[in-house]
Amino acid sequence: MYKLMIAEDEPIVREGLKQYFNWEELGIKQIFDAENGKIGIQIALQEQPDIIITDIRMPELDGLEMIKQLRPKLPNTIFVILTGYNEFSYAQKAIGYGGVYDYLLKPLQYDEGYKTIVNCIKKIDDQRHDLKNRSKLELESKQNLDYRASQLIKVLVEEDSVDEQSIVSLYNLRGSDYLYRTFVLTCIPSDFSSPNQIRVWWRQNAKNIISDSIEFMFQTKTKPIILTYFHKRKLYACVVYPANNQVVADRAIEQELNNMLKRISNQHHSTLFLAVGDPVATLLKVKNSFQTTKQALYRRFFEKHRHVFFKSLTEKNNDIGNEMMVQLENRDKNLIRTYLQNGDFQQMNQLMKDLTKKLPYQSSEKLFAYLHEIITIVLQFANQNNMAIDGVYHDKLLTLECVDDFVFIEDLFDWFASWMGQLSLQYLNKANDDDSQENKLFDEIRSFIIQNIDQYLTLNIVAEHFFYNPSYLSRLFKTKLDKNYLTFVTEVRIDYAQQCLEDPNHSISEVCEMSGYKNYKHFVKLFKSVTHLTPTEYRKQLRM
């Protein structure tokens, strides 16, 4: 998996690049963007992208200066300059000075650009291979302690093997003198009108929340070592402390932490959950502890109103019933197939509600197995009826990453019911010709965009809402409408703006905001590219 950052001050170019290639097929799962070099530095240092594509001339800080400042801090990041003919000499100089892998010439040519990105990925793979072969040397040579701590936890969370000896020596830890305790903190937004604001707040404050939580437990003057790593929407933390330190993990502390997280959650339109593992004596055991601690977070589905889960305290209360196996009954399997075939949406919703009541207090592994069984039944139905499999699910379903989006089990099963309803509609519409079915989908997407006109809606957000694989939906836009998703959204927004301009009570600035645009000049530019008139000219024409 690779990360990409695009630094470009022109929004239309920036957004166009996001849709230009099938990034997921190239292995690029995360794309970040910055409108100038100053913001680019902040994002790059935080997200540490593998590839940075940057324009040269940008406000605040230009691309070359950004590269100069980032190069020593991100030695493994590959930089590609996006440049026009008039800046070609600058791009050549930058490559000559070092730090820049290649350049892409505007207007971007697909084959040339694709080849450059593929070569960048090959170079990244080569770098990773070299790093793996000399991991101990790399660990010892890192200058930034926070970065080294993050990489350590990353290895423990994501990698298969851990070189414990080099890590112990890195932090001057002496075997039996220290203990390790794992923490996993997650944030689930409750206000979906401002997800970006919540995400920014979460990234900026999660480590402080972990530190405050640790202070409740570690009643000692000697501060423990706290190593943290962000992975998806979770913060993983490992606390290293002397074995003779007093650590309190009882019901009273759990309640204090619960009250703290509840208060923070209410203040920031989100819900925080914290799981705390048991102490272990070696780093090798920390890896397993992270897994079991993470699973404890899903106890929230069965113990409502709790925000904190101490693994040892949780297990003591839940020995009864842990040997039970939850399986989908044959009757329920048949009902799912029947409701899919007949389009009984109300019955499907009721069935999902009934299934939540059949779940006794269970481990997360059994819950996930149960959900996988439901997904399998639905995908088998789709396959048996010759439905395009990659057009009937979002990636979050197969990976069960969708579970992390919900506070309550009932909401999760409602989401499953919505997915099944969408799939059933596709099945029932197969009797019509494909063009009719796809036109209906595009109409539904158009309505969804208008309903959320003030929000920034990426292709991935729309695909998730309609339970489509993003790559499949992207291909539908290109093959059926001969346009990409970005162009489609622009046309919908400008068409909406035209309707708003018919009302003389709205100023053009107000129409700009009502259509979902923050930048007035950008709005005018896009409006003219679609209608061949400025908003002012268009309004005058209405009065003629």
**pLDDT tens digits, residue range 481-494?**
889 999 999 999 99
* DSSP H or E stretch at residue 3: strand 2-7
Calculate mean pLDDT across residues 11-25: 88
pLDDT category of residue 466 using cuts at 50, 70 and 90 = confident
Structure tokens at 24: 């997921």
- Whether 135 shows a pLDDT value over 60: the answer reads no
Q: In which region does residue 7 sit, left (phi positive, over 0), alpha (psi from -120 to 50) or beta (all else)?
A: beta
Q: Are 9 and 21 in contact (CB under 8 A)?
A: no
- Whether 435 shows a pLDDT value over 90: the answer reads no
How many CB atoms sit inside 10 A of residue 251's CB? 9
Least-confidence region, from 189-198, 260-269, 444-453: 189-198
Buried b / exposed e across 103-119, counting CB within 10 Å, b at 16+?
bbbeebeeeebeebbee
Fold of 441-543: Arc Repressor Mutant, subunit A (1.10.10)
**Alpha carbons 19 and 359: distance in angstroms, whole number:** 42
Q: In which region does residue 384 sit, left (phi positive, over 0), alpha (psi from -120 to 50) or beta (all else)?
A: alpha
Q: Which of 48, 31, 43 is nearest to 458 (CA)?
A: 31
Calculate mean pLDDT across residues 314-333: 61
First to last CA, the chain: 56
Predicted pLDDT at 251: 86
Phi, psi of 280 (to 5 degrees): -130, 160
Predicted pLDDT at 161: 58
Where are the domains positioned within the chain?
2-133, 144-317, 330-431, 441-543
Predicted pLDDT at 318: 47
Buried b / exposed e across 197-232, counting CB within 10 Å, b at 16+?
ebeebbeeebbebbeebbebbbeeeeebebbbbbee
Of residues 531 and 429, more confidence is placed in: 531
Q: What is the DSSP letter of 224?
A: P
pLDDT category of residue 82 using cuts at 50, 70 and 90 = confident
- Whether 319 shows a pLDDT value over 50: the answer reads no
- Whether 527 shows a pLDDT value over 60: the answer reads yes
Of residues 317 and 337, more confidence is placed in: 337
Q: For the chain, how long is the longest CA-to-CA vector?
A: 86
Whether the model clears a pTM of 0.75, i.e. scores above it, the answer is: no
Share of the chain above pLDDT 70, in %: 83
Q: Are 100 and 79 in contact (CB under 8 A)?
A: yes
Of residues 221 and 468, more confidence is placed in: 468
Contacts of 486 (CB under 8 A, 6+ apart): 15, 16, 18, 19
Calculate mean pLDDT across residues 147-176: 65
**Alpha carbons 210 and 13: distance in angstroms, whole number:** 39
Of residues 383 and 172, more confidence is placed in: 383
Predicted pLDDT at 385: 85
CATH topology of 2-133 equal to that of 144-317?
no
Over the chain, what is the mean pLDDT?
83
Structure tokens at 47: 């997200």
Residue 147 CA from chain centroid, whole number: 21
* DSSP H or E stretch at residue 372: helix 364-384
SS3 call for 7: strand
Helices (H), 48-163: 63-70, 88-97, 110-133, 135-141, 145-158
Top-tier CATH class for 144-317 = alpha beta
Predicted pLDDT at 53: 94
Buried b / exposed e across 252-266, counting CB within 10 Å, b at 16+?
ebbeebbebbbebbe
What residue type is assigned to position 420 of the chain? M
Residue 171 CA from chain centroid, whole number: 31
- Whether 312 shows a pLDDT value over 90: the answer reads no
Predicted pLDDT at 321: 44
| The Cα angle at residue 365 between residues 359 and 369, in degrees rounded to 5 | 70
Predicted pLDDT at 86: 64
Share of the chain above pLDDT 90, in %: 33
Predicted pLDDT at 422: 84
The β-bridge partners of 6 are 33, 53
Residue 484 CA from chain centroid, whole number: 22
**Alpha carbons 6 and 13: distance in angstroms, whole number:** 10
Calculate mean pLDDT across residues 372-399: 81
Tally of residues, the chain:
544
Calculate mean pLDDT across residues 267-288: 89
Would you say domain 2-133 falls under CATH 3.40.50.2300?
A: yes
Burial of 26 (0-12, 13-18, 19+ CB in 10 A): middle
For the stretch 242-262, pLDDT in tens is 888 878 878 888 899 999 999
For tokens 């197995």, name the residue: 369
Cis peptide before 107 (omega within 30 of 0): yes
Residue 415 CA from chain centroid, whole number: 18
* DSSP H or E stretch at residue 420: helix 409-429
